[in-house]
Amino acid sequence: MTTRHLLEIDDLTPGEIEVVLTLARAPQPAQVLAGSGVALVFEKPSARTRNSMEMAVVGLGGHPVTIRPDEVGLDTRETTEDVARTLACYHAVIGARVFEHSKLERMTAVVDVPVVNMLSDTSHPLQALADLLTIGDEFGELAGRSVAYVGDANNVARSLAIGVLATGGSFRLAHPDGYGFGDEDLARIGAAGDRVDISGDPARAVEGADVVYADVWTSMGQEAESARRRADFAGFGVDDALMSRAGSGAVFMHCLPAHRGEEVEASVLEGQASRVWPQARNRMAAARGVLEFLMEAGATVEQRT
């Protein structure tokens, strides 16, 4: 049996991304987790990820077990490898929300159950899949859509860029000096496609775009930098004037939580163009699609052997 994992969205081929999105839209998902447990390990707190993953597992007939950081202590109480091996004794899937992406990679090296990245310092594939679902719901076809991300080139931006390029869209990024992608990120994004435009000009990024996207300027673990970041990101907030430069019918998206008056004005977040709540709702559908795909992928290979 070949075990498939999802640590970054390009662990799926473009065709497999379409399969996951189709599974996510199924009104009656297959009960591929019936009688099985799914371990959900959280080093970082979460509202949307925990609730969407738990309910996705329930929707597939399984039983979610959420595990707090003090209950396992990755690399403090036990090694990450020992925790993963133990959880794999009881569960069909391990989901983990971690600080260091390398912990996910170490888990995949020692277990034969799927490992799902519920957020790491480099990537957030479940969010990107929910974003693609939302863009597809809005425009029908993903190919040819332009997505403008205004703000920090963080884990959300990286996975979104890869997902948009892999499905035939174009990605634009506007960020302040010092907040762009690193070389490894650019290489990974470049492998997905070359329809990328990166600048320090938010107006240039959103001009005629189908989607304008923002994220918080200070992510979890960066709280000590918040004052400096607010100063550095001045002029990179999404307001009505910036949205007016986007294309006709453009929508606004945000992965939440949102800081009104910083990266987005309340009038945009709660305005007619906002698709933030459908986007949040799609987190559960995306998680369901991923889990079903990973379980069926393993079962298909097993049946052939």
Query: How confident is the model at residue 222, as a pLDDT?
Result: 82
Encode pLDDT of 169-198 as tens digits. Answer: 999 999 999 999 999 999 999 999 999 999
Q: φ and ψ at 14, to 5 degrees? A: -55, -40
Encode pLDDT of 68-100 as tens digits. Answer: 999 989 999 999 999 999 999 999 999 999 999
Query: How confident is the model at residue 249, as a pLDDT?
Result: 97
Cross-strand bridge partners of residue 210: none
Encode pLDDT of 52-72 as tens digits. Answer: 999 999 999 999 999 999 998
Query: How confident is the model at residue 104, as a pLDDT?
Result: 98
Residue 126 above 60 pLDDT?
yes
Edge to edge, the sheet with strand 37-42 lists 63-67, 37-42, 93-97, 115-117
Gap between the Cα atoms of 265 and 259, Å rounded = 8
User: Exposed, middle or buried, 194 (CB in 10 Å: 0-12/13-18/19+)?
Assistant: exposed
Residue 130, H or E segment: helix 125-139
DSSP conformational letter for 4: P
Q: Give the three-class secondary structure for 92.
A: coil
Residue 36 above 80 pLDDT?
yes
Encode pLDDT of 201-260 as tens digits. Answer: 999 999 999 999 999 999 878 888 899 999 999 999 999 999 999 999 999 999 999 999
Q: Rounded to two decimals, what is the model's pTM? A: 0.96
- Average pLDDT (14-38) is 97
Distance from the Cα of residue 101 to its chain's centroid: 14
- Average pLDDT (104-120) is 98
Residue 305 above 60 pLDDT?
no
Gap between the Cα atoms of 35 and 113, Å rounded = 15
Contact by Cβ (8 Å): 237, 263 = yes
CB atoms inside a 10 Å sphere around CB 201 = 14
**pLDDT band at 301; cut points 50, 70, 90:** very low
